[in-house]
Chains A and B, each alone.
Chain A
Amino acid sequence: NAGVTQTPKFQVLKTGQSMTLQCAQDMNHEYMSWYRQDPGMGLRLIHYSVGAGITDQGEVPNGYNVSRSTTEDFPLRLLSAAPSQTSVYFCASSSSGWGNQPQHFGDGTRLSIL
């Protein structure tokens, strides 16, 4: 049981390039989220999904797109990379939306934008 798998683990991009961060979970969780972690700021919510075909914006959505065509996958797209998007990105999933259901996190993607 792999849990939440994120690929790639590391990536370096040039300003203006686009890329997709992959996230897959094998727990049949309906709820999935993307966060970014920056020094001194904890984790901040980028986008989230409550099921296939349903997504919504979080606290810091600008510059990112998401889609949810299957329960298992929730990719995050950077449309035109900027140095301010240098961060560690975490994908998470939970079995329900109830606040007492903890999210399970992947090990992150470390992204550097030059």
Chain B
Amino acid sequence: DQQVKQNSPSLSVQEGRISILNCDYTNSMFDYFLWYKKYPAEGPTFLISISSIKDKNEDGRFTVFLNKSAKHLSLHIVPSQPGDSAVYFCAASEIQGAQKLVFGQGTRLTINP
């Protein structure tokens, strides 16, 4: 049973516009949610995270929104740049579970010039 789901396998966005990546989860015990970015032949790199006690966290062009009642989070990238083209993974952990991340399937984001 998939506890973290990313229902869009791919997303194509024009350069300069907003990219919105979505993620749903089912486990109410998750306390932290993280987004990772992955280029081909490299490991995932941490992008941004949010605690379950917050509904928004912003870091430069990246903002993560959390809707606990809907068990839904989203990553907004504004403005999108060609270097943002990558696979994005949503991940979740319990309060002391940094070593036990639960990942979504990933969304391949393509930024078109």
Contact = CB atoms under 8 A, between A and B. Distances in A.
Interface of A: 4, 31-33, 35, 40-45, 48-50, 58, 90, 92, 94, 96-108
Interface of B: 4, 6, 9, 31-32, 34, 36, 41-46, 49, 51, 89, 91, 93-106
A43 B45 contact: no
Contacts of B46: 102-104
Contact of B44 (A41, A44, A96, A105): A105
Contacts of B96: 97-99
Given A42-B89, A99-B31, A4 B43 contact: yes
A40 B105 contact: yes
A14 B68 CA distance: 47
A107 B40 CA distance: 10
B105 A32 contact: no
B34 A102 contact: yes
A104 B34 CA distance: 12
A99 B42 contact: no
B75 to A, nearest CB: 15
Contacts of B94: 99
Nearest to B5: A42
Contacts of A105: 36, 43-45
A88 B6 CA distance: 20
A24 B14 CA distance: 40
B95 A90 contact: no
A100 B100 contact: no
Given A99-B32, A100-B51, A43 B98 contact: no
17 contacts: A4-B43, A33-B100, A40-B105, A44-B103, A48-B99, A48-B100, A50-B99, A99-B32, A100-B51, A102-B46, A103-B46, A105-B36, A105-B44, A106-B43, A107-B41, A108-B41, A108-B43
